[in-house]
């Protein structure tokens, strides 16, 4: 088995930044990739809040720019899915798609995935009307009626994107006020009748056997239920961490996100975590990149001490 100074797991902004910083420091780096580099920004139509791009930038364009930083660097990037991590500092064994690799350190940057509503039939209807990615699936619903569930930036951003494509959009939020940025709320308000906002409301039932045909929505203050005929449902009700492969000993918070200190160190010596996988307040591309740089520096210092 080939040995690396660092195994970086995840190729989103945190992972790419960590791999870049480590490679530029002279470390040998392995970065197994399950999907195309870029992570969740590949699912974002446009980004308006990333510094350096005041007019905004397409998600895939920013992903390409991130990945370009790896050109010419000594980063091995096999197409593989990480299945497990065993061992200890100086000799972690990372199993990925049936192959085993050895890393002196590990930097976990696998991020998070969209949380489902947890309703009966949701799994069955996923890909058949139920989606968690507007930029991936929005075009299938051109000129049709869809609903978006959520109240954060993701829900508002994707509603704005979908409004350009669909005929009618319901935005359903369980609270009176949105958590998303005011600038997105103002843009939604300017769209008029094309978007109907249902506040203090939750989806209680999905309708349809092979394809989604409608939703039952409950108004929380009155208990009144209403059935909406929709062709698509886009869910943005939070995230779940992608930590299935991690040793049970890695400390996590109540939601399963990895707990680190300010230097991205976990409770397991030699294992670091960066980006959306961490237990933290702000999950944005810029904070993921910052985490990745910090984790890389902390891993480099750890390697220096390991070799001393």
Helix-then-strand count for the chain, H and E: 7, 19
Mean pLDDT by runs of 10 across the 308 residues of the chain is: 94 97 97 86 82 92 95 95 96 96 97 92 94 89 97 92 95 94 92 93 96 97 96 94 95 96 98 96 91 98 90
- Together in a domain, 146 and 95: no
Pair 252, 290 in one domain: yes
Distance between CA atoms of 279 and 266, rounded to whole angstroms? Answer: 11
| Pair (160, 208) in one structural domain | yes
pTM, two decimal places = 0.83
DSSP 167: S
Catalytic residue among 136, 176, 209, 261: 136
Tell whether 129 and 226 lie within a shared domain: yes
Alpha carbons 240 and 113: distance in angstroms, whole number: 5
Count the domains in the chain. 2
Q: Which residues contact 26 (CB under 8 A, 6 or more apart)?
A: none
Here the CATH number for the domain that contains residue 128 is 3.50.50.60
Name the domain boundary from 235, 253, 276: 235
In this structure, are 18 and 37 located in the same domain?
A: yes
Residue 133 among the catalytic residues = yes
Main-chain dihedrals φ then ψ at residue 51, nearest 5 degrees: -55, 140
Task: Examine the domain organization and report whether 127 and 220 are in the same domain.
Answer: yes
CA distance 231 to 166: 10
Residues 97 and 166 in one domain: no
Q: Find how far residue 261's CA is from the centre of its chain.
A: 21
Is-catalytic flag, 136?
yes
Say whether 27 is catalytic.
no
Secondary structure of the chain: what % helix, strand, coil (to 5)? Answer: 30, 30, 40
Q: Are residue 27 and residue 128 in the same domain, yes or no?
A: no
Based on the number of CB atoms within 10 Å of its own CB, is 254 exposed (0-12), middle (13-18) or buried (19 or more)?
exposed
Last residue of a domain, one of 217, 235, 253: 235
Active-site choice (5, 27, 109, 137): 137
Same domain as 104, residue 28: yes
Domain closes at, from 202, 235, 268: 235
Say if residue 244 is in the same domain as residue 106: yes
Domain identity same for 69 and 143: no
Q: Residue 82's domain spans which residues?
A: 3-113+239-307
**Are both 47 and 124 inside the same structural domain?**
no
Per-residue pLDDT, 281: 87
Please answer whether residues 73 and 56 qualify as being in contact, where contact means their C-beta atoms are separated by less than 8 angstroms.
no
Query: Quick one: which of 82, 104, 91 has its CA closest to 29?
Result: 104
Name which of 276, 274, 275, 265 is nearest 299 in CA terms.
265
């Amino acid at each position: 088995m080939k040995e690396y100074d660092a195994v970086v797991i995840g190729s989103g902004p945190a992972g790419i930044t960590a791999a870049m910083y480590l490679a530029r420091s002279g470390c040998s780096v392995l970065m197994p990739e399950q999907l195309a580099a870029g992570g969740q920004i590949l699912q974002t139509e446009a980004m308006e809040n990333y510094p350096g791009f005041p007019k905004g930038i397409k998600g895939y364009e920013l992903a390409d720019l991130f990945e370009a930083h790896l050109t010419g660097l000594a980063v091995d990037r096999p197409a593989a899915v990480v299945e497990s991590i065993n061992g200890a500092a100086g000799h972690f064994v990372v199993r990925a798609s049936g192959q085993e690799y050895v890393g002196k350190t590990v930097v976990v940057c696998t991020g998070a995935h969209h949380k489902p509503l947890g309703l009966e039939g949701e799994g069955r209807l996923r890909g058949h009307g139920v989606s968690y990615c507007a930029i991936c699936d929005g075009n299938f619903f051109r000129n049709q009626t869809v609903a978006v569930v959520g109240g954060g930036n993701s829900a508002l951003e994707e509603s704005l994107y979908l409004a350009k494509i669909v005929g009618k959009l319901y935005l359903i939020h369980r609270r009176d006020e949105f958590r998303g940025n005011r600038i997105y709320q103002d843009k939604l308000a300017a769209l008029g009748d094309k978007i109907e906002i249902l506040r203090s409301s939750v989806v209680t039932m999905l309708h349809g056997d092979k394809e989604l045909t409608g939703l039952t929505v409950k108004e929380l203050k009155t208990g009144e239920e209403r059935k909406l005929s929709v062709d698509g449902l886009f869910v943005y009700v939070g995230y779940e961490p992608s930590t299935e492969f991690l040793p049970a000993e890695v400390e996590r918070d109540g939601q399963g996100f990895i707990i680190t200190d300010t230097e991205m160190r976990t409770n397991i010596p030699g294992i670091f975590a960066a980006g959306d996988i961490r237990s933290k307040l702000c999950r944005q591309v810029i904070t993921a990149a910052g985490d990745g740089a910090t984790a890389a520096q902390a891993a480099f210092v750890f390697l220096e001490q390991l070799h001393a």
